[in-house]
Amino acid sequence: MHKVIELLKRIPKGKVTTYKELAKVAKTHPRAVGTIMHSNEFPAKYPCYKVVMSDGRIGGYNGRIDKKIKLLKKDGIIVKNGKIDLGKHMFKLPTNQHKKPDKK
């Protein structure tokens, strides 16, 4: 399982993160994150619907934007004109969670 998928479980209810944020933490490219989200076989366990574009636009969801919006709204996230207010709903992942422990 790719670490990007595992990071999805850390996003709390009512929050989203971005492809760019996941890419930064996982040390990969945002487009690679999109590809990984597209191949997520367990969206109920790994909530890829909580990943949006860095400008707040919804982004893709296997061609089912309406379903993504429904899931976001069910999670308490307001979607207005196809966008999310990242100032209110953005979850920043800790960037140090994949560092190896310092050797002493």
Active site residues: 48
CA 16 to chain centroid, in Å, comes to: 6
Q: What whole-number distance in Å separates Cα of residue 60 and Cα of residue 70?
A: 13
Q: What whole-number distance in Å separates Cα of residue 84 and Cα of residue 31?
A: 20
Q: What whole-number distance in Å separates Cα of residue 67 and Cα of residue 22?
A: 22
Whether 67 contacts 33, CB under 8 Å? no
Lookup result for tokens 């982004």: 59
